[in-house]
Amino acid sequence: DSGNRWFDKAVSLIVFEDGTAGINVEHCELDGTTILGFTDALLSGTRLERAPADGIPASEVIEFVLGDALREDARAAAASFAAYADATATKTVSFTDFGAKRAKELGMSPDGFAQMAYQLAHKRAKGITGATYESIATRQYRNGRTEAMRVVTPEVLWFVRVMNDPSADRQTRQAAFRAAAAKHVTRAKECQAGDAPE
């Protein structure tokens, strides 16, 4: 019920009475690849590089003593969180007639295809092109993390403009789409190599 997690902490290890365990990560402070590296190190049984030379740091049991005021604060926080969760709507949409396989058959990057669809949908829904980014892993570097790839390029702006131009013919729209998706792939490779535009 989300009551056993510390959402204000960067990393929470959750261990239940039966021995099962999990991890909860607050993403604002840490990249996903950083947490995966941390988790891999924990599960491997090897010590982290930066562990103290004299062994594992000392730990201390924390005892929580709750008076009436703190119990009431906890109840109010639980009620507030439940109301927030109830007011949040999520809907999953499945496409059974189109996917990554079809995009590849068309000679397109599935990621490039999806990103162009997002850009066009955002322009049509909101009237503007959003300054969006995509997380790109830099795994080839030791302890590689992520790069924030800026999705909007001149090619994307041209694609969106052409798609919203009623006088544009099919060939012009296809050319704009392919150019924008190809630029997306090129930029992703630049970011993976540490050569991000910014």
What rounded mean pLDDT belongs to the chain? Answer: 85
The percent helix, strand, coil of the chain (3-state, each to 5) is 45, 10, 45
With tokens 């840490």, the residue in question is: 30
Q: How far apart are the first and last CA of the chain?
A: 41
Give how far the C-alpha of residue 165 lies from the chain's centroid of Cα atoms, to the nearest Å.
Answer: 32
Confidence of residue 1 (pLDDT cuts 50, 70, 90): low
Q: What does the block give as tokens for 92?
A: 């999953």
Q: What is the pLDDT of residue 111?
A: 93
Domains delineated in the chain: 11-86 (no CATH), 100-192 (3.30.559.10)
Give how far the C-alpha of residue 196 lies from the chain's centroid of Cα atoms, to the nearest Å.
Answer: 18
Confidence of residue 109 (pLDDT cuts 50, 70, 90): very high
Q: What is the pLDDT of residue 115?
A: 93
pLDDT of 47 over the 60 cut: no
3-state secondary structure (DSSP) of residue 157? helix
Q: What is the pLDDT of residue 13?
A: 85
Q: How far is 11 from 21, CA to CA, in rounded Å?
A: 13
- What stretch of H or E contains 178? helix 170-192
Which residue of the set 27, 101, 142, 170 is catalytic? 27
Q: What is the pLDDT of residue 54?
A: 67
Confidence of residue 161 (pLDDT cuts 50, 70, 90): very high
Q: What is the pLDDT of residues 22-37, one digit of tens each?
A: 888 877 767 777 787 7
Q: Enumerate the H helices of 87-141 as residue ranges.
A: 100-105, 110-126
With tokens 């109840």, the residue in question is: 75
Average pLDDT over residues 157-167: 97
27 classed as catalytic: yes
Pairing of strands 133-137, 146-150: antiparallel
Q: How far is 22 from 185, CA to CA, in rounded Å?
A: 35
Q: What is the pLDDT of residue 195?
A: 84
pTM of the model: 0.62
Q: How far is 128 from 108, CA to CA, in rounded Å?
A: 25
Average pLDDT over residues 91-115: 90
Of 112, 115, 94, nearest in space to 104 by CA: 112
> Position 102: which residue type?
R
Longest dimension (CA), the chain: 73
pLDDT of 72 over the 90 cut: yes
Q: Report which DSSP code applies to 58.
A: P
